[in-house]
Structure 1
Amino acid sequence: MSNKIFKRLAFPILIIIGLLAASFLVPVLYPDYDEIINYLKDENNKVIAAPPFSAEEMPLLGSDRLGRNFLLILIAGAKYTIFAALAIAALRMIFGFLFAVLYTFLPGSFTRTLKGLGESFQYIPLAIVVFALLAPLEGAFQGDALPSSRYFFIQLAGIAAITIPSLGIYLGEEMKIYLKQEFIEVSKIMGASRFHLVRKHLLPQFLRHSIVLFSEQVSQALSLLIQLGVILMALGGIKVAEFAIGPYEPSNPVYFSETNEWAATISMNIQQVFSNPLLVVVPLTLFSILILCINSISASLKKALIDSDVTTKRSVEKDKQPEGHVKISEDLFTFKN
């Protein structure tokens, strides 16, 4: 890996590591970071402000409707957002590969039907599908029958499960192309079993591109979390606060989250987007920065691990081929933009 690519990787990785480190330090340095503050007083013990506090009243970003420091809430919730995206991407990669292997060796008529369903499924917003899938559990969570931590992991599994078929079908189509190469056809003629083809050919080829694929899946997971946050579904769930001070209106409830991950902060404050836009814009900006870092890492890894290898192979093949002969190679297991 060249120094140029290493430098391109260092900056986004440092940003992500910095966010994670700060997220774990906030509860240690500020044990009461999520404490509810009903009002602020001046030196004369006179009430001067009620939540949500402005940036001047509670630096640097003000507070949410419960009076909690919004900056500390966001930093503390970063670890849940980042680890959730990593977990969803990992589940997609593992089970997507298994799905792809099954898809590859299924009869052609069956795979054509699956492919058609998969392509049509791409036009349906995944956030709506996830919401419909997890809606029954939302009622159990609101009724305290389902703990937030358990609901968190169920949501991760549900989000990953919804997106596995599309990745599996894509990888399966690439595997079919890869299995048509001459050296694999020779292996089949010599009696190679399907297990041998998977272990000796498909798995190594998949692992070569898995790092790039993984980073792409992380970005997609983060994008899906944003959409879920906008429609009031967040990891770990959100509940209506019953312990804040002030008048309550059924049409304007006050929400809180036990995880405070970034999608949850969007859900909690989406109704304040016009009166206090920072409560929604700031977590969206953090999501954008994180996705930008992941995309930068993905692009750098693709250039270092895949594009350079393809370029080298093409130059070697060009030297070996006679004049006038052109061979087109496939960049397998990589998403085409």
Structure 2
Amino acid sequence: MLSKTPLFFTGLFLLLFILIVSIVIPIALSEPEINPFRYSDALKKLEIPPYSPSKGNWLGTDRNGKDLFYILVDGAKYTILFACIITLARIFVSVILGLIFKRLFNSSWFSGLIQSFQYVPQSLIVLLTLSPFLFYEVRNDSVFSTLETLFLQLLVLIAVGVLPLGKIIAETAEQLSRTEYVNCSKLMGASYFQITAKHILPHLWPRLFVIGGRQFAQVLTLMLHLAIYHLFIGGVQITSGQEHDQFNHFATISNEWTGLISTYHKELMLEPFIVMVPVTAFALLVLCINLMTKDLEHHFSKRSLFK
């Protein structure tokens, strides 16, 4: 299997490596101290943040003096784990609903209802649902704790993708149930549960791996869309130095990558390297997931599972 899907296992190894490093480094090492200014002996001048990449700061610092490498590593686990949990939960719930309510999902009126919602961006649905709960005035604290915010975000992001995915599962199960061996099992008196366990699920598992990869990339994209509107995973920290809060600053609490991109996007015309660090990391993560999915899809297509 390893020789047949080298890109998949290479990508899986990289994801696990990044995840382990993201967990271990913040535990083993404390965050580098923030220096509000430093004196450069070589240039004979006083410097203030943001600092360019150097030996002490591999990827440089942001405008507040925070080390970009450290916060990037620290936020990797939240980005990957959050997207992974949503993907697995969506697939788990969708498989159960798609197999149990197969006839409902394949009915014309319910299928058309789900199809109509596909023209509405998921990010818009999530934004309209979560904004009243998670956004707050700069003079007040958030109503929810970090754990409560995570749970609410997980619940909504899982729910918004269950029905479209359940429709795909139901259609796939319906297609498999029309095969000759399933019809023979029905004639021999096999129950729906036996047919599902013996004939449908074994052929459904390979497709679930491909669907899971696509869902993972879709969840990451959804997280980025939400971050544009300052809806960060784990919550948002709103601060302002203005008396009437004309210029609010929205910062991610968990350092997850989509939140960092949104937080630093204003630096694009000032200090581009600050925003390009999380952008590059996020782009490589999506590329890794897409390569893994394509490798699996190519492997299973050879076995005529998608024909």
Q: TM-score range by the shorter chain?
A: 0.7 to 0.9
Tell me the residue number matched to 1:322: none
- Tell me how far 1:170 sits from its aligned partner: 1.5
- Tell me how far 1:247 sits from its aligned partner: 6.8
Q: What is the root-mean-square deviation in Å for CA atoms of aligned residues?
A: 2.9
Tell me the residue number matched to 2:131: 135
Choose from 293, 296, 303 the match for 1:298: 293
**1:302-323, Cα deviation, whole Å (9 max, x unpaired):** 233x22321xxxxxxxxxxxxx
Tell me the residue number matched to 2:253: 258
Q: Work out whether 1:285 is the aligned partner of 2:280.
A: yes
Give me the whole-angstrom Cα distance separating, in 2, the residues matched to 1:146 and 1:180.
Answer: 49
Give me the whole-angstrom Cα distance separating, in 1, the residues matched to 2:285 and 2:190.
Answer: 45
- Tell me how far 1:41 sits from its aligned partner: 2.9
Q: Decide which structure has the larger Cα Rg and report it.
A: 1
SS of the residue corresponding to residue 46 of structure 2 reads: strand
Give me the whole-angstrom Cα distance separating, in 2, the residues matched to 1:283 and 1:248.
Answer: 31
**1:226-267, Cα deviation, whole Å (9 max, x unpaired):** 11112211110111247xxx7788343333333111011123
Q: Work out whether 1:19 is the aligned partner of 2:18.
A: yes
Tell me the residue number matched to 1:314: none
Output the TM-score relative to the length of structure 1: 0.79
SS of the residue corresponding to residue 48 of structure 1 reads: strand
Tell me the residue number matched to 1:98: 96
SS of the residue corresponding to residue 234 of structure 2 reads: coil
Give me the whole-angstrom Cα distance separating, in 2, the residues matched to 1:104 and 1:42.
Answer: 68
Q: Which segment drifts farther, 95-104 or 232-241? A: 95-104
**8 A contact 2:210–2:293 mirrored in 1:** yes
Q: Alignment length, in residue pairs?
A: 303
**8 A contact 1:39–1:47 mirrored in 2:** no
**1:108-151, Cα deviation, whole Å (9 max, x unpaired):** 6xx21221122222222211111111112204797333111221
Tell me the residue number matched to 2:306: 331
1:9–1:203: structure 2 CA closer, same or farther, 3 Å change rule? Answer: closer
Output the TM-score relative to the length of structure 2: 0.86
Give me the whole-angstrom Cα distance separating, in 1, the residues matched to 2:110 and 2:267.
Answer: 43
- Tell me how far 1:168 sits from its aligned partner: 0.8
**1:263-315, Cα deviation, whole Å (9 max, x unpaired):** 111232233333233333322221111111111112222233x22321xxxxx
**8 A contact 1:215–1:295 mirrored in 2:** yes
Matches of residues 28-177 of structure 1 in structure 2 within 5 Å? 28-33=27-32, 37=34, 39-42=36-39, 48-55=46-53, 59-106=57-104, 111-139=107-135, 143-177=141-175
**8 A contact 1:233–1:267 mirrored in 2:** no
SS of the residue corresponding to residue 285 of structure 1 reads: helix
**1:42-80, Cα deviation, whole Å (9 max, x unpaired):** 289x99344444446973333233321112111110011
Q: Which segment drifts farther, 256-265 or 142-151? A: 142-151
SS of the residue corresponding to residue 303 of structure 2 reads: helix
Identity of aligned residues (%): 27
Q: Which segment drifts farther, 157-166 or 99-108? A: 99-108
**8 A contact 1:103–1:168 mirrored in 2:** no
Give me the whole-angstrom Cα distance separating, in 1, the residues matched to 2:187 and 2:243.
Answer: 74
**8 A contact 1:103–1:169 mirrored in 2:** no
- Structure 1 portions without partners, runs of 5+: 311-329, 333-337
Give me the whole-angstrom Cα distance separating, in 1, the residues matched to 2:281 and 2:295.
Answer: 21
- Tell me how far 1:10 sits from its aligned partner: 4.2
Give me the whole-angstrom Cα distance separating, in 2, the residues matched to 1:129 and 1:202.
Answer: 33
